A = this chain, B = another copy of it.
Amino acid sequence: MKNIKLAHGNGGEENNELINKVFYKAFENEILTKAEDAAVLDNGRLAFSTDSFTVSPIFFSGGDIGKLSICGTCNDLAMMGAQPKYLSCGVIIEEGFRVEELEKIVASMKKELEKNGAIIVSGDTKVVPKGSVDQIFINTTGIGYIQKENISSNNISSDDVILVSNSIGKHGAAIFANREGIELSSDLESDCASLWPVVEELIKNDIKITALRDATRGGVAAVLNEWAKQSNICIEVTEADTPVCEEVNGICELLGFEAFNLANEGTFVAAIAKEDAAKAIEILHQLDLSKEAAIIAKVSDRYLEKVIINSEYGTSRFLDMPTGELLPRIC
- CB < 8 Å: which of B15, B98, B119, B134 contacts A3? B98
Instruction: Judge if A27 is at the interface, Cβ distance under 8 Å.
Output: yes
For A9, the closest partner residue in chain B by CB is B127
- A90 in contact with B139 given A50-B122, A124-B50 (CB within 8 Å): yes
Q: Contacts A4-B99, A102-B22, A123-B23 given: A49-B129 contact, CB under 8 Å?
A: no
Q: Which of B5, B35, B95 contacts A122 (CB 8 A)?
A: B35
Q: Measured between alpha carbons, how far is A32 from B6 in the docked complex, in Å?
A: 36
> For residue A32, which residues in chain B have a CB less than 8 angstroms away from its CB?
119-123
Output the residue of A93, A100, A102 with the most chain B CB within 10 A.
A102
Hey, which chain B residues are within 8 Å of A97, CB to CB?
3-4
Per-residue B-contact encoding for A78-121, CB less than 8 Å = 1, 0 else: 00000000101111111111111011001101100100000111
Asked if B48 contacts A86 (CB within 8 A), the reply is yes
A132 within 8 A of B: yes
Q: Is A29 an interface residue (CB 8 A)?
A: yes
How far is the CB of A190 from the nearest CB of chain B, in Å?
Answer: 18
Across the interface, do B95 and A6 meet the contact criterion of CB distance under 8 Å? yes
A194 CB to nearest chain B CB (Å): 16
A240 within 8 A of B: no
A207: interface (CB < 8 Å): no
The residue in A50, A51, A91 that gathers the most chain B C-beta atoms within 10 A of its C-beta is A50
A4 CA to B100 CA, complexed, in Å = 10
| CB neighbours of A52 from chain B (8 A) | 90-92, 124, 126, 139
* Known contacts A3-B99, A4-B102; A124/B93 CB under 8 A: no
Is A31's CB within 8 Å of the partner chain B? yes
- The 10 A-B residue pairs whose C-beta atoms are closest, nearest first, are A9-B127, A50-B88, A141-B141, A139-B139, A39-B121, A52-B90, A27-B120, A132-B134, A4-B97, A31-B121
17 residue pairs bridging A and B, Cβ less than 8 Å apart: A4-B99, A4-B102, A9-B125, A9-B126, A19-B125, A23-B89, A23-B91, A32-B119, A39-B88, A49-B122, A50-B122, A52-B124, A54-B132, A54-B133, A122-B141, A127-B328, A133-B137
